[in-house]
Every structure is written in C-alpha cells, then in structure tokens.
Amino acid sequence: MSPAGPFGWTHGDLQYRNLLRDSGRLVAILDWDRLGVRPYGEEVARTAQVQFGVGGVFDLDRLAAFCAGYRAVIHLPAACLADAVTRLWWKRMTDFWQLEFYLDRRDPTFAEMFRTDEALLHWWTDHADEVQAAYAAH
C-alpha cells in the first residue's frame, strides 16, 4: 500500500542537528542529501520524533504543538499524518542502522543512540494511542 499524501519537496532529515544558529537566530539548514518528494506526513512524523522523542519518551505537549503549528500552515489531513506515524513506528521497529554504524565504525555514540531509540520505541508502543492523538493535534 502506498503512503498517504499530500506530497511535496521535503528536506528528509530536518532536525536540530541540521540547523545552524548564530546569536539565537537560524542562519542555515544543513545536510540536504535526503532532499526529495515524499509525503509531508513523513517529514512531520520523523522531524517530531527526532525533536520530541528524547530520553526514551515523547514530549507529547511539544509534539502536539509542533504538529498543530505545521498543520495550521500546510494542509495535512489527520488520516495522512496517522498513516505516516504508523509507517515510521514500523520502520523504527525494523531498522537497526545504529548497531550497524556501531559495529562497522566502532563508534560508541551509535550504541547509546540505539539504546535511547529502543527505549523510545518501547514507550511509543505502550502509548500508541496517546502518540497518535498528539500527532493529530490541529
């Protein structure tokens, strides 16, 4: 089954690590190697997960505020965003890239990243309805 639209150009990895600031002002967005046309819901779901899925839990209030703000500017039906969130959850359930980086590069940073993402995934699974409700904020 294909992802739900609407589709458009997205960064593909929009997150705090790719934002360059100077004196509190955003001056550049970095790391454009994932630029492509994809569902807007996919970009919102991933960005919110990286930004607000910290310490093994989602900050549901901040996640809801982010999604509501995005959806106030870009038309993104709740069903399309719910589809993207479910797809992202499934991707996280089956993706072990951090372990591959840890084992191949022998970089302990990725082992810690795996542990924190794994904790978030457990929490997300246990609170799936609450997470979907936060993403659906409008």
pLDDT at 5 exceeding the cut of 90: no
The tokens of 134 are what? 């936060």
Look at residue 59 in the predicted model and tell me its pLDDT: 98
Q: What is the pLDDT of residues 27-72, one digit of tens each?
A: 999 999 999 999 999 999 999 999 999 999 999 999 999 999 999 9
Whether the CA torsion 23, 31, 44, 7 is positive or negative: it is: positive
Look at residue 1 in the predicted model and tell me its pLDDT: 82
Q: What's the rounded mean pLDDT across residues 95-111?
A: 89
**Whole-angstrom Cα distance, residue 86 to residue 90?**
6
Position 4 confidence tier, pLDDT thresholds 50, 70, 90? confident
Higher pLDDT, 87 or 96: 87
Give the mean pLDDT of the chain: 94
H/E element holding 36? strand 36-39
Position 125 confidence tier, pLDDT thresholds 50, 70, 90? very high
Look at residue 132 in the predicted model and tell me its pLDDT: 98
